Amino acid sequence: MPPTLPPPTKAFVLAAGLGTRLRPLTDALPKPMLPLWGVPMIRHTLEMLRSWGVREAVLNLHHAPGPMIRYLAAHPVDGLRVSCLWEPEILGTGGALRQAAGFIGDAPFWLVNADIFARPDPAPLLRAWTATRRPPIAVCWLTEDAGPRTVLCERGTIRDFNSPDRGHATFCGLQLLDSRILRHLLPSGPDSIIDAYRRAQAAGHRVAGVLEPGAYWADMGTPDRYIQAHRDTAALLGHAGETFTVPAAAVFPQPERDALRRLRVTASTPVDVLPPRGSSRAFFRIRREGPSPATLMAVRWSPEREDNRLYAPQTRFLARLGVPVPRLHLDNPALHLLVMEDLGTDTLETLAPTLSPARLLSVYRRILDALLPFHADGAAALRRSRIPSMPPFGPETIAWEHTYFLDAYAAGHAHWPPSRIAAARAALVRAADILQASPRGLIHRDLQSSNILFREKLSPVLIDYQGMRPGPVAYDLASLLCDPYVSLPAATRQTLLRHYCRRHPLGRAIAGAFPAAAVQRLCQALGAYATLSRRPGMARFADYIPRALAQLRPHAAAFGFPV
């Protein structure tokens, strides 16, 4: 292995940008001062550089420098001397570097954009400096995992920075530079570091490129990227599963803010961005201020899923039916946005561990009682209302859930052999035959504890029923009573099943189909947990797999299911 360049002790941080694409967030705040998990981005950058051995850093400032200067003065980074260089006029990445020539000296130094969040290993860039007999004039960090991918790099040498057709990598705005680059900057006026590289290449210098698979990089130049960076870095920065708070302007573009104005939502209204859920929707808690402060829950939904567009009309329908559902404050199908009452953070999943057995039993009985009009009267009322619903929960849906389980969990996660997968498939068919012959009604289809919230005095409210459709009632009961999020004792489960079945006119037949419904539902849940746990920021779903298997085993033997 070739020797490694000693870590540079100096860095120049480009922090003078106007942040135009992030307005109005950056109207009075420089972009590097925007917080990422409560810490300004500039702090993340400076701490990264210090960890690399940097002892002196210079920042160029232009737009709204006051907040940056005050922050740096009040929050010094231990072991790092930070200075600021004022730019009365924007000089670009190259012109700014020219102004810092007196600081740079003769040793290699780091140049980094302040509007990125990065977690690369500096060692590969330092090694690239000594990999050839003649050091390159610069080593640029590249990624193939994000961005426009316009950089063409061959055998560690960058051939073209702007090749949309042939490019495969993105320049990440972090580079290791030799002071020789100063000779290739324009003598005055604005200039670009990329243009300087091209001039250096034309003069015979080499610009190296380094790819680090798996190293995280995010350009937070737009509100969408700013929000996504929070989600992507949640686990990395110790905030997995947490919410984060940003101004409404970071979340809602102007057309959405116009629609929200009548709800007293402004660009500066604090908004909590909730962790991603297993659906194509994003959830935001709006914290309104004023004479009557209150919180609202906003949902942005994707039109790619038909069931998402049905949520609002189904909410109004269920409210008329007497089913406890959230109150709607705004429904704007054109913007794919709705706002409803905020029922807080306590779900049945989070409350269950805090309740005594008697209290928990009482809460579940209330939920089951609230389901009776849904199951017994809902299908006929839905036909009369002419409100669209999803296709019935029948053979096609059941077969889809089987495939979901067998592909995502059995083969993809647990790596079952073909013989075991074949046995599971046969057992699922046996359970499905019983389930399809059981009493039907309007069902929620995703009646798990995380989809049950509460108003005062533990009055339950159902959410997430956009899968609402005609189907076997036993499936909903299995979803609720065999929920891996809340592992009910077997005796409690049977007590609650009897409570419901005594009140439903077809209760005996529903109880008979319950084991088959449990097998069907729990296999669907295992497929979902295996799928979701592989997505960024959602690894926590893997924790529910052992619980689902434990719930499945008591029901599996009757169908020859090989758990």
326 and 368 share a domain? no
- Residue 275 has what pLDDT? 81
Q: What is the pLDDT of residue 552?
A: 94
Q: Choose among 170, 249, 185: nearest CA to 217.
A: 170
pLDDT of residue 370: 93
Amino acid at 548: A
147 Ramachandran zone, left/alpha/beta (phi>0; psi -120 to 50)? left
| Domain carrying residue 377 | 348-559
Are both 273 and 215 inside the same structural domain? no
Mean pLDDT per segment of 10 residues, for the chain of length 563 residues? Answer: 77 84 78 87 92 92 86 90 88 87 86 86 89 88 86 90 87 90 90 92 92 82 82 82 86 91 89 78 85 82 84 91 93 94 91 94 95 91 85 92 96 95 95 96 93 91 87 96 94 96 95 96 95 83 93 91 85
Tell which of 190, 219, 248 closes a domain. 219
pLDDT at position 526, please? 96
Does 532 map to a domain? yes
Structure tokens at 387: 């409100």
For residues 440 and 463, the answer to whether their CB atoms sit within 8 Å is no
In a domain, 70, yes or no: yes
Q: Residues 545, 547, 553, CA angle at the centre, nearest 5°?
A: 100
What is the full DSSP assignment across 307-367? HHHTHHHHHHHHHHHT---PPEEEEEGGGTEEEEE---S-BHHHHGGGS-HHHHHHHHHHH
373, 448: one domain: yes
Residue at 226 is within a domain:
no
d(CA 379, CA 496): 23
**549 backbone dihedrals φ, ψ, rounded to 5°:** -65, -40
| 228 belongs to a structural domain | no
> In CATH, what number is assigned to the domain containing residue 271?
3.30.200.20
pLDDT the model gives residue 327: 94
152 domain-assigned: yes
State the CATH number of the domain containing residue 97: 3.90.550.10
Domain finish residue from 156, 187, 219: 219
Q: What pLDDT is stored for residue 278 in this prediction? A: 56
Q: Is residue 277 part of a domain?
A: yes
Regarding whether 352 and 337 lie in a shared domain, the answer is: no
135 shares a domain with 64: yes
Same domain, 123 and 43: yes
The domain boundary residue, chosen from 292, 312, 341: 341
- Phi-psi region at 19: left, alpha or beta (left = phi > 0; alpha = psi -120 to 50): left
Specify whether 377 is located in the same domain as 447: yes
Report yes or no on 543 lying in a domain.
Answer: yes
Together in a domain, 537 and 419: yes
| Helix segments in 82-157, DSSP class H | 92-99, 101-104, 123-129
Number of domains in the chain: 3
The answer to the question of residue 54 being in a domain is yes
Same domain, 387 and 531: yes
- Kindly state whether residues 282 and 315 are assigned to the same domain: yes
* Rounded-to-integer distance, Cα 281 and Cα 271, Å: 16
Residues 333 and 364 in one domain: no
**CATH number reported for the structural domain that contains residue 476 in this entry:** 3.90.1200.10
How many angstroms separate the CA atoms of 493 and 361, rounded? Answer: 9
Q: Are residues 265 and 117 in the same domain?
A: no
178 within 8 A of 110, measured Cβ to Cβ: no
